Chain A
């Protein structure tokens, strides 16, 4: 074996503990990365097989050829097909059966009166397809619906809602429909299609409640006769299809569904996780670099001896690198195993906490193994490179130096470089925020700010620790003074240790500030745009929920307490060729419940051929009141609309407004997303709310809130996201704390004799422990405060740049309580990180320490 390798293995064996922190940092980072990749692939495969299952018996899908997709929407709206087409298609040679698939939103109300599902996955209702092979659902208990009002519910949804066969409940389509459950269904042997809820009705019911007009279906599913391939079937169906209708194979339909999920949701999900594993690995880099730097410093004498005995620089450097390589390899391999374990664990955990993921075997691709392994080794070796080179430069005559106070950190060159970076960052961010708003310029500035903080760390460490530790001298006497000076001993080391925590805390505060700003933005949106007294809505996320019945607003208007009730419905059309979301409402009443800002023209008489739009959109499309816009609807019809009004604020109302009568010919399944109510003068908010609630109860118990409560709940989802982000960032912070603990342990080892001396002249164990703990707290406080400052600054940059670069007006908010909690948590965590090194230091044998030569 080569000498360098033998030396490094021997030293690893001898100092296993020193590398425990490095091992853990690499392990956690790699496990996070590998877990994310494996989980992404597994979910993608699971969704693939789930959609395969859903269309397993379907050989061809016949549907409207063109889809109109509004920006931000996952799925386009297609023109419906005639139900009668199914009979025609079934008669074509090569087709064994054909059934219309009538689908819409349908949210079940559970036994306790609360809606079932709606937290992301779709809540669907449809016709119960009687052809067993075309229907992915199977009756598990009871029977199929036969009479009006009878439904089959998937078993998972029934369990969630506490519903049993024979129960009668409400289905919001969104008009409330009384339904009786006659059967429970399974999907591919499972209780449902992941967490999707499905309610199967008779075809007549489905046509009645889920479409605007009976006789229309979303698509027609066709099954091939024996010996006819899917492609062949599609070829034979083609001549029988009317214009604007297309046929695709069942496999292609499954693939489209899978792509829809992977392309949007899954990619977003894995990217999100990858970003956080990147943060964790970045933090790990600092911890690892610090460990190696200290180990090399401690080994100066040993390396000097080796150099004196004839070892070359290269050999010493190689020894240090080989050591890092060995740690990297074992930790990365362990991390891979850990990551696969994490993925398996999460897969089991997600359904239990209500995440909408299907299950299936773990998918471990080569990339998921190679990438984390390579990243782990690279991060570890890269972090160890500088210390290893420094080890190689050890002079053979490096004397028996005592560990003196090192102030090398605060060099002039460093201060100048840091100042230059800081100035560059300031220039870039200010340009990106104020001069020509751009997220990219601002982002570059943010990265420069991060670099400036890291470079300036050692310069700032001296001053910061002196200031932070100032009170310690008075509070804790000589113990505090010693802790403070120990933290000041090597500003470079203190800064590197703190930098890891700083980055973690900076990201935490960035998200905290951004979330608070988003909340403030929402609050501002509601308080600026919502002029009503009461809001009626159905909270749901993602594709879930079914909205509000369009009959609710007229019913509320009849109440004596109510002055106006305006519902905002959804529509979609291509405006001059681009898919756009439309708001379908009663424009005349709109201005009474919503503040639209300055309105040019009049919303009063849009009529059947008038449209109103925001000033921004009008400017973009060069439209003015009196101008004309061509709207193409999902049913294929194109109409010319006249611009009758231009308004300022789009926040709640949306960019385009048309009347209900203009939308009526093109409507599909109608739903309002929000009903705004204004009360007559003299009616109290509580009385008004009670009256509205009584009427709303008949329309499936939607949420009835005062204006303030509505503003608060609009921002509710943000807190949930923030908790998730905190959980993900916890790992990076843990790595940073491990780094502090590790640095301290190494420092304690380095100061063995000094600690022994202190003990000999009368420092009690408790005082010694306190001294080490306070040092840890000081380093953590330095990192935390730096992180808070950096995070708040980056948050400001992000908010302001978003504000300038997008249509939405963002408000900036600093949440003082939350940030104080982050600061406190950082400092407390520092105390926690110091516990073990402090205990180890206190266990030190006084005599051995004094006698160590």
Chain B
């Protein structure tokens, strides 16, 4: 394994083990993973189905707890937090973009973007949010409901929401999984720009080599272990690497 760069870590897991079930039916979704997600970088996690990539993301983001090992957001150890503190941490320091169903249907676009801030009772940074709205290009849609938006527009709202509170790290779980390639490219471009122009951190789980190519680095997971990492990925290189997994399995 290559040595980690001495940059500040936005999130990391150490010796991460996650076991589902028990006894004979026990499944080790994560089997001793050490990963650091450096701040200001766009990291993609790839791997075949069942490799544990989603589990890794959920545990790193504080949505799920590890069976053993540790997970940190910044300097905060997640294992030590109860449900309430975890919730507050997610609200204040983590952003999320899911594959689908990212928005609350009863709230307008504007309200969805500021939802985590509203839940926290914070006003947030108006200029920053204003800038975000322009970056995602939804200024004329702010008063619309999610059901009046296309899938791509919905995901762009989700991206804006994820960055609204200036979180330490944004986790994106297959953010383009439900989109056509053009909308997908738009969303990925947004994530990439957010990282490079505003020094945010993004961790994205995907199975799409094209999507992974937008990242600064790709981590490959297989059978619950970190199998490989690829700095400066391109779609072709990622595709080749993925094929190697399929051949092997």
> A residues engaging B (CB < 8 A)?
402-405, 477-479, 481-482, 485-486, 488-489, 753-754, 757-767, 846-847, 850
Contact = CB atoms under 8 A, between A and B. Distances in A.
B164 to A, nearest CB: 10
Contacts of B98: 757, 760, 850
B64 A847 contact: yes
A461 to B, nearest CB: 15
A477 B118 CA distance: 7
Contacts of B53: none
B115 A761 contact: yes
Q: What 8 pairs between A and B have smallest CB-CB spacing?
A: A762-B91, A485-B106, A478-B118, A404-B147, A762-B116, A764-B87, A761-B116, A753-B101
Contacts of B119: 478-479, 758, 761-764, 767
Nearest to A850: B98
B63 A489 contact: no
Contacts of B91: 761-763
B92 interface: yes
A754 B63 contact: no
B104 A758 contact: yes
A761 B92 contact: no
Contacts of B118: 477-478
Contact of B88 (A478, A485, A762, A847): A762
Contacts of A485: 106-107
A489 to B, nearest CB: 6
Given A488-B106, A758-B119, 7 more contacts: A402-B105, A478-B119, A485-B106, A489-B106, A754-B104, A760-B96, A762-B119
Contact of A765 (B83, B103, B107, B161): B83
Contacts of A763: 87, 91, 119
Contact of B106 (A405, A762, A847): A405
B120 interface: yes
Contact of A481 (B58, B95, B111, B121): B111
B84 A482 contact: no
A753 B101 CA distance: 7
B87 A759 contact: yes
Contacts of A846: 63
B145 interface: yes
Contact of B121 (A477, A482, A766): A477
B172 to A, nearest CB: 12
Which secondary structure dominates where chain A touches chain B?
helix
Interface of B: 58, 63-64, 83-84, 87-88, 90-92, 95-96, 98, 101-107, 111, 115-116, 118-121, 145, 147, 161
A792 B107 CA distance: 37
Contacts of A765: 83-84, 87
Contact of A403 (B92, B105, B121): B105
A489 B63 CA distance: 28
Contacts of A767: 119
B162 to A, nearest CB: 8
Contacts of A759: 87
Given A762-B116, A767-B119, A404 B105 contact: yes
Contacts of A766: 84
Nearest to B101: A753
Contacts of B92: 762
A762 B104 contact: no
A488 B83 CA distance: 30
A248 B160 CA distance: 96
B10 to A, nearest CB: 18
14 contacts: A403-B105, A405-B106, A482-B104, A754-B104, A757-B102, A757-B103, A761-B115, A761-B119, A762-B120, A763-B119, A764-B119, A765-B87, A766-B84, A847-B64
Contacts of B63: 760, 846-847, 850
B73 to A, nearest CB: 13
Contacts of A762: 87-88, 90-92, 116, 119-120
Contacts of B64: 847
Contacts of B88: 762, 764
A101 to B, nearest CB: 78
Contacts of B58: 847
B84 A754 contact: no
A721 to B, nearest CB: 46
A158 to B, nearest CB: 67
A239 B176 CA distance: 110
B105 A754 contact: yes
Nearest to A849: B101
B87 A482 contact: no
A763 B104 CA distance: 12
Q: Which of A485, A489, A760 has the most CB of B within 10 A?
A: A760
Contacts of A402: 101, 105, 147
Contact of A761 (B83, B90, B121): B90
A758 B120 CA distance: 12
Contact of B145 (A405, A477, A479, A757): A405
Given A404-B147, A478-B119, A760 B90 contact: yes
Contacts of B105: 402-405, 489, 754
Nearest to A754: B104
A477 B121 CA distance: 7
A847 B57 CA distance: 11
Contacts of B161: 761
A197 to B, nearest CB: 66
